Amino acid sequence: MLTVSNLTKNFGSIQAVKGVSFTVEKGEVLGFLGPNGAGKSTTMRMITGFIPPTSGTAVICGHDITTDPVAAKRCIGYLPENAPSYHTMTVTDFLTFIAKIRGFEGAALKEKVEGAILKSRLESVRKQTIETLSKGYRQRTCFAQAILHDPQVLIMDEPTDGLDPNQKFVVRQMIKEMAADKAIIVSTHILEEVEAVCTRAIIIAGGQVVANGTPAELCARDPQGRLDVVFRNLTMTEGPAHV
């Protein structure tokens, strides 16, 4: 459903992403792991068409993001980092606005908004303005806009960063509930996220993929089975390790 091929991104003389390639199939939840500054968010932004790659591309459900961006974006649900939204809108008004942008009208629009509210557990705050919500509910509101059109590919950048343990649990449950029908990428630097929700994980460091495997396969690289040790060994060394 998603194929990323040799993505690179240069910012002047700095190469932030250096030939990243991977695939994600339906039913997979891919953890995209790396320390701060590793190139995770830049890669996500290229896949979703927010910024153009210097070279390489991503193909979403058969549509190339560089040559057929509108069709590709129709297949994507995107939760960017820091959950951007319009703070003076109520939750329902914001999701209605998003549904209209997505081209829904009438009964279909109402159905999509109501479905997103239910799936994201927003019933109790639907009439509140977004600026009055806790960070957890703001995150859920932006999660709702990402899934509103029932996308085949769901891409989330740091979906639980800064949330308390209860809020993290709710967001992870929402991800698990949708996993069977979608190809999902969760970009994160929180190692527990991988073991909690992911079926496979990629570790990126210095703009390059340094590991790709199931959580169990990655943990097996350490005698004690500790993912934090594996992560540290791969991301604190000079230059890329072997995948």
Of 132, 149, 166, the domain-final residue: 149
33 and 132 assigned to the same domain: no
Q: Looking at the predicted structure, is the pLDDT value of residue 20 above 60?
A: yes
Check residue 243 and give its pLDDT. 45
For residue 242, the model assigns a pLDDT of: 44
Whole-number Å distance between alpha carbons of 14 and 7: 15
Predicted pLDDT of residue 174: 86
- Residue 135 has a pLDDT of 87
Does residue 140 sit in the same domain as residue 163? no
Tally of domains within the chain: 2
Whether the predicted pLDDT of 82 surpasses 80: no
Could you report the per-residue pLDDT of 110-143, keeping only the tens digit for each?
Answer: 999 999 999 899 999 999 999 999 988 998 999 9
Burial 66-97 (b: 16+ CB within 10 A, else e): eeeeeebbebbbbbbeebebeeebbbbbbbbe
Q: Do 227 and 119 share a structural domain?
A: no
Residues 96 and 175 in one domain: no
Domain-terminating residue out of 127, 149, 171: 149
Whether 166 has a pLDDT exceeding 60, the answer reads yes
Are both 114 and 17 inside the same structural domain?
no
Q: Is the entire prediction scored with pTM above 0.75?
A: yes
Angle at CA 108, nearest 5°, toward 125 and 121? Answer: 25
Report d(CA 146, CA 142) in Å as an integer.
Answer: 6
Confidence class for position 99, pLDDT limits 50, 70, 90: very high
| 80 has a pLDDT exceeding 90 | no
pLDDT digits (tens, 9 = 90+) for 46-66: 999 999 999 999 999 999 999
Q: Per-residue pLDDT tens for 175-207?
A: 888 888 899 999 888 888 888 899 999 999 999
Q: Is the same domain home to 230 and 161?
A: yes
pLDDT grade for 163, boundaries at 50, 70 and 90: confident
Check whether residue 202 and residue 122 sit in a common domain. Answer: no
Q: Which of 22-31 are b and which e, b meaning 16 or more Cβ less than 10 Å from the residue's Cβ?
A: bebeeebbbb
Task: State whether 157 and 70 are in the same domain.
Answer: yes
Spatial contact of 193 and 160, defined as CB atoms under 8 Å apart: yes
The CATH number given to whatever domain includes residue 191 is: 3.40.50.300
Give the max Cα distance, the chain: 58
Residue 237 in this model has a pLDDT that exceeds 60: no
pLDDT higher than 60, residue 241: no
Are 155 and 1 within 8 A, CB to CB?
Answer: no
pLDDT, the chain, mean? 91
Residues of the chain with pLDDT > 70: what percent?
97
Give yes or no: residues 130 and 62 share one domain: no
The whole domain housing 187 covers 1-75+151-243
